[in-house]
């Protein structure tokens, strides 16, 4: 079989590798650390720096196509890989998603709405933040994940507090208006080499401490809102000439307007529910897309409630969860259950239409708060 190279050794690489193996491909993982979740599920492993050009060349020469489970490889590294092997999604999309300023600018250039934002280049700009308004969120421009590198400024007092540390902040920063959203939702959109676009059903997402905790599919939204979200994701996939899968994170405002929070051109945690609620899940769709295989409709046969297993507290619940009759457990093979670390997830699956919102609210929602 052909070789698929995956840059990154995390759980997204692990689950992509399993999907690739199912389709008869061999997987070569490039990871900067070992052991990693993906090293256990791949045929070949290279451990090296994502910036080491010799290492990247050796990796790329051994692959027939390369993809990513991880977005933070340098632009130079990307260009180097692409000299020796096709790379999907393209380096251009990856570079845009690495940088919140480039990302927001791109979204706005395509007419897509984002939360009001402002670039803050240094301490002087920070001093001027009251003219932008509160509450707002300061975010690092690059390398943020799971809400890391974010400071919430509720009011003038919180702002005065951060001003005392103005010289130590990692500029440039992005200030975003804190949106009092009705809901957070996301769409997984996939586009093939022939231009076929498929969207999975919209998921509703709940975060705790900046980390995704629960995704519910389908999202309990008005049908027209789900359609608008999918149309927006489709438009974006086409404009970007995406090849592969991409997560589009959205806020639904109180008035029903949609804002794009960010994009992730790779499989996404809020798409893990597809592993048990769809015949072809997000990982298989991604592998099919980057290898030029046909993309079937992203059909959902069941309702799903995905719950991340985060840190030691959630892992302690595992014996109970394993007793449940409609729970499918996916573990990432990480040894140490540190607080805040994603160790796995559980998909609770119900017949289509069998997961009323009231059940979610009464049975599971309290566990979120
Ligand atoms: P990840 O890449 O893991 O999704 P991240 O570190 O890139 O996370 P964001 O997605 O920007 O961070 O933010 C994390 C969460 O914080 C969001 O899912 C949302 O719940 C909240 N959040 C972010 N920006 C805003 C905003 N402008 N208004 C309200 N809430 C926000
Ligand atoms: Mg992000
Ligand atoms: Mg996010």
Q: pLDDT averaged over the chain?
A: 95
Classified as helix, coil or strand, 272 is: coil
**Whether residue 322 sits in one domain with residue 349:** yes
> Taking the alpha carbons of 52, 53, 59, 60 in that order, is the dihedral positive or negative?
positive
Is 150 annotated as contributing to ligand binding?
Answer: yes
**Whether residue 304 sits in one domain with residue 231:** yes
Q: If you average pLDDT over residues 197-222, what whole number do you get?
A: 93
User: 273 lies in a domain?
Assistant: yes
**Whether residue 302 sits in one domain with residue 200:** yes
**Whether residue 218 sits in one domain with residue 76:** no
Mutate to test the pocket of ligand 1, among 261, 267, 270, 308 (most ligand atoms within 8 A of CB): 261
User: 356 lies in a domain?
Assistant: yes
More confident residue, 223 or 188: 188
CATH code (residue 267): 3.30.470.20
Is 100 annotated as contributing to ligand binding?
Answer: yes
**Whether residue 346 sits in one domain with residue 332:** yes
**Whether residue 160 sits in one domain with residue 191:** no
60 Cα–ligand 3 center, Å: 29
With beta carbons less than 8 A apart as the criterion, state whether 180 and 254 touch.
Answer: yes
Residue 357 has pLDDT above 70, yes or no: no
Residue 133 has pLDDT above 80, yes or no: yes
**Whether residue 207 sits in one domain with residue 162:** no
CATH code (residue 172): 3.30.1490.20
User: 107 lies in a domain?
Assistant: no
Whole domain around residue 282: which residue ranges? 183-368
If pLDDT is split at 50, 70 and 90, which confidence band does 219 have? Answer: very high
If pLDDT is split at 50, 70 and 90, which confidence band does 368 have? Answer: low
User: 56 lies in a domain?
Assistant: yes
**Whether residue 142 sits in one domain with residue 123:** yes
pLDDT of residue 355: 75
Q: Name the domain boundary from 159, 177, 195.
A: 177
pLDDT of residue 363: 52
321 Cα–ligand 3 center, Å: 27
The ipTM value here is 0.99
More confident residue, 332 or 208: 332
| pLDDT tens for each residue of 250-273 | 999 999 999 999 999 999 999 999
> Is the CB of 252 inside a 6 Å radius of any atom of ligand 1?
no
Q: If you average pLDDT over residues 51-65, what whole number do you get?
A: 97
> Is the CB of 95 inside a 6 Å radius of any atom of ligand 1?
no
> Is the CB of 71 inside a 6 Å radius of any atom of ligand 1?
no
Q: If you average pLDDT over residues 273-293, what whole number do you get?
A: 98
**Whether residue 58 sits in one domain with residue 143:** no
Enclosing H/E stretch for 251: strand 244-252
| pLDDT tens for each residue of 285-328 | 999 999 999 999 999 999 999 999 999 999 999 999 999 999 99
Q: Name the domain boundary from 147, 177, 207.
A: 177
**Whether residue 334 sits in one domain with residue 218:** yes
258 Cα–ligand 1 center, Å: 15
Residue 44 has pLDDT above 60, yes or no: yes
For 140-154, 178-192, 303-317, 344-358, which range has the lowest pLDDT when averaged over its residues? Answer: 344-358
Rounded to 5 degrees, φ, ψ at 151 are -125, 125
pLDDT of residue 154: 97
User: 342 lies in a domain?
Assistant: yes
Is 50 annotated as contributing to ligand binding?
Answer: no
If pLDDT is split at 50, 70 and 90, which confidence band does 221 have? Answer: confident
Is 305 annotated as contributing to ligand binding?
Answer: no
User: 290 lies in a domain?
Assistant: yes
**Whether residue 172 sits in one domain with residue 47:** no
> Is the CB of 135 inside a 6 Å radius of any atom of ligand 1?
no
Structurally, how many domains does the chain consist of?
3
**Whether residue 210 sits in one domain with residue 262:** yes
Measure Cα distances from 116 to 4, 133, 181, 230, 310 in Å. Answer: 40, 10, 13, 22, 31
Q: If you average pLDDT over residues 158-182, what whole number do you get?
A: 96
Residue 354 has pLDDT above 90, yes or no: no
User: 110 lies in a domain?
Assistant: no
User: 103 lies in a domain?
Assistant: no
């Amino acid at each position: 079989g052909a070789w698929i190279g995956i840059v990154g050794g995390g759980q997204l690489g692990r689950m992509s590798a399993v999907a690739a193996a199912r389709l008869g491909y061999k997987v070569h993982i490039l990871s900067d650390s070992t052991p990693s979740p993906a090293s256990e599920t791949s045929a070949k492993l290279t451990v090296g720096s994502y910036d080491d050009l010799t290492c990247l060349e050796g990796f790329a020469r051994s692959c027939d196509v390369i993809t990513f489970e991880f977005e933070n490889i340098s632009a130079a590294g990307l260009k180097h890989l692409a000299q020796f092997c096709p790379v999907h999604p393209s380096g251009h999309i990856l570079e845009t998603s690495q940088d919140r300023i480039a990302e927001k600018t791109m979204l706005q250039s395509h007419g897509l709405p984002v939360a009001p934002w402002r670039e803050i280049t240094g301490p002087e700009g920070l001093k001027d933040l009251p003219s932008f308004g509160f509450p707002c969120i300061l975010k690092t421009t690059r390398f943020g994940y799971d809400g890391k590198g974010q400071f919430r400024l509720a009011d003038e007092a919180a702002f005065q507090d951060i001003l005392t540390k103005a010289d130590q902040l990692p500029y440039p920063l992005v200030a975003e208006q804190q949106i009092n959203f009705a809901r957070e939702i996301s769409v997984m959109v996939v586009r093939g080499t022939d231009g076929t676009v498929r969207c999975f059903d919209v998921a509703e997402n709940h975060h705790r401490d900046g980390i995704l905790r629960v995704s519910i599919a389908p999202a309990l939204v008005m049908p027209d809102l789900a359609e608008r979200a999918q149309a927006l994701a489709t438009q974006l996939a086409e404009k970007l000439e995406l090849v592969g899968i991409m997560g589009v994170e959205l806020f639904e405002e109180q008035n029903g307007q949609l804002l794009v929070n960010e994009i992730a051109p790779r499989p996404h945690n809020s798409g893990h529910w597809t592993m048990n609620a769809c015949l072809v899940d997000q990982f298989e769709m991604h592998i099919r897309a980057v290898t030029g295989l046909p993309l079937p409709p992203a059909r959902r046969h069941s309702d799903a409630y995905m719950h991340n297993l985060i840190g030691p507290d959630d892992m302690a619940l595992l014996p109970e969860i394993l007793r449940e009759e409609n729970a499918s457990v996916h573990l990432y093979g990480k040894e140490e259950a540190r607080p805040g670390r994603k160790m796995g997830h559980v998909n609770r699956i119900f017949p289509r239409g069998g997961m009323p919102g009231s059940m979610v609210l009464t049975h599971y929602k309290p566990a979120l708060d």
